[in-house]
Structure 1
Amino acid sequence: MGNTYTITGFPGFLANFLVRELCQMPSVEQIYLCVLPDTKHKAEHTLKSITDDLAVTPRITIINTDITDPNLTWDHETYDRVCHDTTHLIHLAAIYDLAVPHDLAFQVNVLGTKHVNTLAEHCDQLTHYLYFSTAFVAGKQQGVIKETELNHDAMFKNHYEQTKYEAEVFVEELKSRVPTTIVRPGIVVGDSLTGETDKFDGPYFLLNSLAKFKYAPILPFIGNGNARANFVPIDYIVNASLHLLHSNRAIGQTFHLTDPRPYHAQEVYTMFAQAFLGKKPRGRLPITLAYTALRLKPIRQWLSIEREALDYFNYDVYFDCQNTLQELKHTNIQCPDFRTYLPHMIDYYMRHQHDPTKHVQIQ
């Protein structure tokens, strides 16, 4: 008998890529996709694009789900069926926006995770629960952060980080009762071969801003540029996560899915400027001046960048990923060098630059 996978967060970017891979794995017999009701149409369209070119696919069921409800808004029959069938549970649903207000982030990221944890405890055939956290649960800590570290009192740069931290604390407690693995991705970007991405956020905010200075005589650096920019392409995240999901050695552990050789922000900014505009930055804009400018909504919207993104220009941290490297050392799964896939990121951005569905609405 094959395995049954229950996945929250579809048709989100990462869930989309995971389902693409799962649909091609012969051991996958059935998939339950937990979908917010108002995204059901998009989920059906996305699923069709995944399965149209496949000769054989698992049984796939879309289930209307709201993880902020203790019972996920499921009736008793649905809850019991999913609990009985599920062998692998993947929790991806979350609010990822850096500018998210606290109450919404808490409802989805913290309470939603508690409700999915409860589901995991009731799945009587569960062999593995994979929870997607973020490397940025480290908050305002700097220096080297190990995969075995979680608890701290260093505060957070935004409500996204804080609520993901609080959620991970609950998942960490679950490890003693449920076969659980936690993964902490860095900043996820597009596919390393195609450049495909869902939204132009994260480092793409830089491209939004650079586009406004195409004809500017001087293109200054922002801040001191010493922070490490930890980007990871979606295909690496998916391949590494699926490997961990099917590894008994990964149970009970936490893994940084981060770049083991990250570039500094100044190097990344230079690479973006040269590849996108053919310009080399010079001069320097104090980070405090950039913060002040982005307090003004018209400027944020003109530049298409969230003010919270600037925090990561001063965030000098190294995410140690020795657990991950050790687990993946006998596979061909490696995080590619940022410089090798940057051209694909730029090319995809330029082809979709004027597609409003790719851009984050700046408030």
Structure 2
Amino acid sequence: MNIFMTGATGFLGGRLARELIHRGHTLCVLARTPEKVEAMFSRDERRSITVLAGDLTAPFLGADERFITDHDRSFDLVLHMAALVKFDEELREELFETNLTGTRQALALAKALHCPRFFHVSTAYTLGAREVGDETLYATDQTFHNPYEESKAHAEQAVWAERDHLDVSIFRPAIIVGDSKTGEADSKFTMYGYMRALEVFKRRLEHRGAPDGPIRLLGSETGTSNLVPVDYVADVLLAAIEHAKPDTIYNVTNDAPPRNVTMLDYMKQALAFPHLKITETATSSLSQAEQTFNEMVKVFNPYLNRDIAFDDANTKRLLQDAGFKPLDLNERSLRRIVNAYYETK
């Protein structure tokens, strides 16, 4: 199969691109800097890759008339994975430009190339403030926690609107973490951003001397973190190449997400930082040090302090059809993922 792919130089995209090549597929990848593709992939892998030097926000992603003419009807699938994953309100315009305009340009290119299929990798958190996530399209006039969620919800709507012109499928991963077998990761987002903040905060405290008592982290003691390892998400997308159905949404989520207190225990042990404790105490009662840390990580709270129930029946059926195993993210894998991150620091 000949696949046009955005996001191939990202954390998930690089992993998936290699798997696709090793399974005999050929890729044309969008890259703002083609040198990055050369640095990421081996010489043998690059034999199966061509590069479109372009940009997500450019018309047709930067493809000119000659590229479109030369590649007319040559692609079996456009796999759109590239996105900006930041949660800051001041980045709203950039987030919408990258995530919504970029998706529209990917759709425009797919139609110009007469490509029949379009996969869009979104996020499970387009559900906004809801506590139950289903495999249907969400409204864009609901409450969102940040402009990232909102931009991705609008992007899903743009994809869904092209159902009469393309066979579209939407994939919604939850919090992507490292490889379940090796722990290997290359991410600064969500759980890893939180873990990095813990490490920085510990160093600051050590400069002042050991803390006298517990350091309280505001959050839900019964909340869960819906973690999905990168290898599982890649497996879902690999299964989808042959078995995904058009006009279908797939939640790539975890039926048995670990509790926040459990994940914090793993982090405390890996960091040798036993003073940490999750609490629902009011902010006004926190010490200055505690307030400082909680301010550092507040952007991650919507993802690490809830207990969302996701329906992933479509994804389970997809994996079964393709002969892939369901997700099994056990304690050993979770510890491996946490430890691997801190060991590489």
Task: Give the TM-score category using the shorter length.
Answer: 0.7 to 0.9
Residue 136 of structure 2 corresponds to: 148
Residue 357 of structure 1 corresponds to: none
Q: CA-to-partner distance for each residue in 1:134-164, whole Å, 9 max, x for gaps?
A: 001011122x211124225331111110000
Contact 2:2–2:77 (CA<8 Å) still a contact in 1? Answer: yes
Contact 2:7–2:82 (CA<8 Å) still a contact in 1? Answer: yes
2:333 corresponds, among 341, 355, 362, to 341
Residue 167 of structure 2 corresponds to: 179
Residues 43 and 284 of structure 1: CA distance in aligned 2, closer, same or farther (over 3 Å): same
Distance 1:4 1:272 in 2: 42
Contact 1:7–1:89 (CA<8 Å) still a contact in 2? Answer: yes
Indicate yes or no: 2:259 matched with 1:264. yes
Contact 1:130–1:245 (CA<8 Å) still a contact in 2? Answer: no
Residue 110 of structure 1 corresponds to: 100
Residues 283 and 245 of structure 1: CA distance in aligned 2, closer, same or farther (over 3 Å): closer
1:228 corresponds, among 220, 224, 236, to 224
Residues 271 and 171 of structure 1: CA distance in aligned 2, closer, same or farther (over 3 Å): same
Contact 1:92–1:131 (CA<8 Å) still a contact in 2? Answer: yes
- Give the C-alpha shift of residue 210 in structure 1: 3.2
Indicate yes or no: 2:77 matched with 1:93. no
Q: When the two structures are superposed, what TM-score results if normalisation uses the length of structure 2?
A: 0.87
Distance 2:60 2:270 in 1: 49
The alignment-based identity, stated in percent, is: 24
Q: When the two structures are superposed, what TM-score results if normalisation uses the length of structure 1?
A: 0.83
Matching residue's letter, 1:92: M
Q: CA-to-partner distance for each residue in 1:168-200, whole Å, 9 max, x for gaps?
A: 001111123211111000011111112121123
Residues 282 and 350 of structure 1: CA distance in aligned 2, closer, same or farther (over 3 Å): closer
Distance 1:292 1:278 in 2: 18
Residue 245 of structure 1 corresponds to: 241
Q: How does 1:47-66 map to 2 (within 5 A)?
A: 47-48=41-42, 51-52=43-44, 58-66=47-55
- Give the C-alpha shift of residue 229 in structure 1: 1.0
Residues 290 and 189 of structure 1: CA distance in aligned 2, closer, same or farther (over 3 Å): farther
Q: CA-to-partner distance for each residue in 1:62-110, whole Å, 9 max, x for gaps?
A: 1111121123222211122334311121001111112261110111111
Residues 338 and 162 of structure 1: CA distance in aligned 2, closer, same or farther (over 3 Å): farther
Residue 4 of structure 2 corresponds to: 6
Contact 1:270–1:280 (CA<8 Å) still a contact in 2? Answer: no
- Give the C-alpha shift of residue 282 in structure 1: 4.3
Distance 1:245 1:106 in 2: 28
Contact 1:256–1:324 (CA<8 Å) still a contact in 2? Answer: yes
Residue 328 of structure 1 corresponds to: 319
- Give the C-alpha shift of residue 287 in structure 1: 6.5
Gaps of 5+ in 1: 354-363
Distance 1:159 1:291 in 2: 28
Contact 1:276–1:346 (CA<8 Å) still a contact in 2? Answer: no
Distance 2:134 2:278 in 1: 35
- Give the C-alpha shift of residue 12 in structure 1: 1.0
Residue 358 of structure 1 corresponds to: none
Residues 333 and 250 of structure 1: CA distance in aligned 2, closer, same or farther (over 3 Å): farther
Contact 2:137–2:156 (CA<8 Å) still a contact in 1? Answer: no
State which drifts further: 261-270 or 11-20.
Answer: 261-270
Matching residue's letter, 1:185: P
Distance 2:285 2:178 in 1: 26
Distance 1:259 1:265 in 2: 14
Distance 1:241 1:166 in 2: 22
